[in-house]
Amino acid sequence: MLWFVLDDRSQANLRSSCPAQFPRAFGDHATLRFDVPLSAAYEKLVGKPHTIEVYEHCWNNRVQAVRVRTNGLPDQYGVPHVTVSAVGEPFESVAMLKGSHHSEPLSLTLNGTVKFIPLKSRR
């Protein structure tokens, strides 16, 4: 997995701007690519600091997320975001953002580092 991991200060800023609405709190990363090998294109990003821009706070009755502009980082799902909290699983943010949900504008800059986490074989 290719992730953008928020630094501690950005995580704290996100938590104070968007307190968790649901029992499972997240707010520590944006998934850029899931289940991909480490390619040369991604390798040049890993370990590098980066900044993303929050522009919208979104939620429904199961999940809460913020939409972000990734400023050149890859995006697999077409809805770049950071999941803030959920009743169920954090990946529900993708369906929520592509479907009906509530939203309000939000302006916040988040800093962090691009990291690669290999998935274990499914065999």
pTM of the model: 0.91
Domain 2-116 belongs to what architecture?
A: Alpha-Beta Complex (3.90)
pLDDT tens-digit series, residues 8-47: 999 999 999 999 999 999 999 999 988 777 777 778 899 9
Map out the domains of the chain as residue ranges: 2-116
pLDDT tens-digit series, residues 78-93: 999 999 999 999 999 9
pLDDT at 91: 93
Q: Indicate the pLDDT class of residue 118, thresholds 50, 70 and 90.
A: confident
pLDDT tens-digit series, residues 37-73: 777 777 889 999 999 999 999 999 999 999 999 999 9
List Cα–Cα distances, 2 to 6, 46, 59, 62, 70, in angstroms: 13, 8, 24, 25, 13
